[in-house]
Chain A
Amino acid sequence: MQIRKLALFLSSLCVAGAALADITVGVSVSATGPAASLGIPEKNTFALLPQTIAGEKVKWVVLDDATDTTTAVKNARKFVSEDKADVLIAATATPTSMAILEVAFETKTPQIAMAPLPPAGEKAGWVFTTPQNFGLMAVAIAEHMAANGVKTIGFIGYADPYGELWLKAITGAAEGKGIKLTAVERYQRNDTSVTGQALKIMAANPDAVLIAGSGTPAVLPQATLVERGYKGRYYQTHGIANRDFLRVGGKNVEGTIFPVGPMLLAEQLPDSHPSKKPALDYIKLYEGAHGPNSRSTFGAHAYDAYLLLTRAVPEAMKKAKPGTPEFRMALRDALEGVKELPATHGVFSMSPTNHNGFDARAAVMATVANGDWKLLK
């Protein structure tokens, strides 16, 4: 008798469990390791997201991949086989996202990556990305340069894929505007001196210089150039959009011009900007929990992934039930069909050939004024 009761109880629990967690989202972020400064705000964002999408219960399964591709794949396998995930939001960094794409493609599970990805051939059909690609940002920079009479630029960037991708992006964008690249220099993230590179750039004497670094390491080239008396314009990339850059840069980085997702400067956006409302919603949610000025553009990429789901899930629900391969297929199709969805970093309009979906509205130009970010009109 006892055993039968227990069995009944357990089976009812199972039914209840299945009914409760209708949609399962597997989330892999780099909360530790080299990409931790990006992964931590993302992780914090997932903790704040609602437990329902379009009235359906959602189960967020969040794991740390330590910026390690092996761990990322392990996480993805666990999501698909144990949690029966309907969609993966993964991952923080480009290499980990690429690794997870293998699993997503093999198991036919849609994936939303929070890092820009290089072209992935047939596999690309299953992955969508939320950050702006570098080309979009580079075009915004080149337009600003052309509008301000810049004819020649010097480039100093990381001696790694970040610097390489930016060099490619800016070379293409600048050519389109008739701007010439007259000096290309490289440096390492933890170099203690870039005097040699700065002198080389000053010898070429370009109208402007673009520094392709991220966070505080982007300060050193600019500080060195300022100290050596370079008088041209200073451009940086959206990699500098964190408070530590302002703290370390101080007066050396005043007047720096850089492209960034509109989310960083939500309050300063005109009311007509489609990103203003979602960005303010997100900032209220995030800064309400983590204090004023705690916003990060990376956490917003995670929130944009959630926004994509709020649009795609109701569409997919019409065609199939969560937990089935049909639902995953329907969700993939629905994501590809997202049109004119305002998000914190821009407006998504996906197509079979464009799984990022951002256009020029996803980049605004900003500057550093009085130790704070300021939107350029």
Chain B
Amino acid sequence: MDLQIALLLGQDGIVNGAIYALLALALVLVFAVTRVIFIPQGEFVAYGALTLAAFQAGKTPGTLWLLLGAGLLVALIDTVNAVRSGSLGRLKRIVLWDLVLPCAVAGLVLGLEPGKLPLAAQVALALAIVVPLGPLIYRLAFQPLAAAPVLVLLIVAVAVHLTLVGLGLLFFGAEGSRTTPFSEARFDLGMVTVNGQSLWVLGASAVLIVGLYLFFGRTLYGKALRATAINRVGARLMGISATMAGKLSFTLAAGIGALSGILIAPITTVYYDTGFLVGLKGFVGAIIGGLVSYPLAAAGAILVGLLEAFSSFWASAFKEVIVFTLIIPVLVWRSLTTHHVEEEE
């Protein structure tokens, strides 16, 4: 191994690590706010990428029907609840968010021929389909169980993951897809060539991370999420709705996931089940951060990316073994250095 190879591997590791870092942040966010270990995080990666790929192949992505179906289901449940409790004022909001919004997205997708639009518009449409799935899934699967123990939430998360993977196979088929790159540019930096898409990945990750930092530090909603993460009961007493916090965190997680997928789709082939492994590596990163610290999670995810790149060079047959074995020393170290805190119930 010479310096050039090390630089190339480092570049590859950092680009992959940036994606893992985004997913790790989303996992930490969802866990802190709702205590859900969000296994289906990876599915949003695959859905985002494959929805965009379906546009470019001139097909209508199956995720659109999922959005309409989930919206209808949530609207029905919420309407029944609203009628029962006599709060008819909520109906307007239900119709707007769960029926009008998905139908508007469907109208745009079916009416516009997204494959012929500029790339930015395609990305926006793909996000418009996939991101609303986040809060809808929260409403259907997790909101009724908001007070359940972590283990129950984890089991539900596994169920949601399996359902979404199965639907992904139904929507997109077993074979993978690639999308057109955001930029074909290449830059020669001495010994290393950097392609434009890698810079997009790094740039977008950095912008998202700074954006999240500002969101949590400067906005009312961000502060509400932080408050909920620190003390759920206290936050509720201050008038912060736990349901709102849950939906908002799932929206952010879905958005981060879908965007990650759209970013990596031009540099790798994405399959219906790609998301799980990508998400799992983000999870290893998040574990390094103890599922609470954002900067540690991001750093851990970059470490996972680098480790993956170098181990694929040294021992490609054992790459996954090496990456996932990392979790053991990390867990040992964490259990030795941190005090076990009983879950507040």
> Which residues from chain A sit less than 8 Å from chain B, CB to CB?
34, 36-37, 156, 159, 185-197, 199-200, 203, 215-217, 219-220, 223, 227-228, 242, 244, 247-248, 250
Contacts and interface: CB of A to CB of B under 8 A. Distances in A.
Given A196-B12, A196-B319, A242-B175, 19 more contacts: A37-B174, A187-B316, A187-B319, A192-B264, A193-B12, A193-B267, A194-B316, A195-B12, A195-B309, A196-B314, A199-B9, A200-B316, A216-B176, A216-B271, A217-B271, A220-B268, A248-B175, A248-B176, A250-B178
Contacts of B308: 193
22 contacts: A37-B173, A186-B317, A187-B312, A191-B312, A191-B319, A192-B19, A192-B277, A193-B308, A193-B309, A195-B309, A196-B310, A196-B311, A196-B312, A199-B8, A199-B313, A215-B174, A216-B176, A216-B271, A217-B271, A219-B178, A219-B269, A244-B176
Contacts of B19: 192
Contacts of A191: 268, 312, 319
Interface residues of B, number: 34
A190 B271 contact: yes
Contacts of A192: 16, 19, 264, 268, 274, 277-278
Given A196-B12, A199-B5, A186 B269 contact: no
A216 B269 contact: yes
Which 3 pairs across A and B sit closest by C-beta, in order of nearness? A196-B312, A196-B313, A244-B175
Chain A CB within 10 A, most for which of B177, B178, B274: B178
Nearest to A187: B316
A185 B308 CA distance: 15
Interface of B: 5, 8-9, 12, 16, 19, 57, 173-178, 195, 264, 267-269, 271, 273-274, 277-278, 308-314, 316-317, 319-320
Contact of A248 (B177, B264, B278, B313): B177
B5 A248 contact: no
Nearest to B12: A195
Contacts of B319: 187-188, 191, 196
Contacts of A156: 316
B175 A37 contact: yes
A203 B175 contact: no
Chain B CB within 10 A, most for which of A190, A191, A192, A216: A192
A193 B176 contact: no
- The A interface is mostly helix, strand or loop, or mixed, namely helix
Given A190-B271, A200-B313, A216-B271, A195 B8 contact: yes
Nearest to B195: A227
Contact of A197 (B264, B277, B312): B312
Contacts of A37: 173-175
Chain A CB within 10 A, most for which of B177, B277, B312: B312
- The B interface is mostly helix, strand or loop, or mixed, namely helix
B269 A197 contact: no
Contacts of B5: 199, 203
A219 B269 CA distance: 8
Contact of A190 (B8, B9, B277): B277
Given A186-B316, A248-B175, A195 B195 contact: no
Nearest to A203: B5
Chain A CB within 10 A, most for which of B173, B267, B309, B310: B267
Chain A CB within 10 A, most for which of B5, B9, B268, B277: B268
B269 A248 contact: yes
B23 to A, nearest CB: 12
Contacts of A219: 176, 178, 269
Nearest to B320: A188
B121 to A, nearest CB: 22
Given A227-B195, A242-B175, A248-B176, A217 B269 contact: yes
A320 B49 CA distance: 59
A327 to B, nearest CB: 39
Contacts of B8: 195, 199, 228
Contacts of B174: 34, 36-37, 215
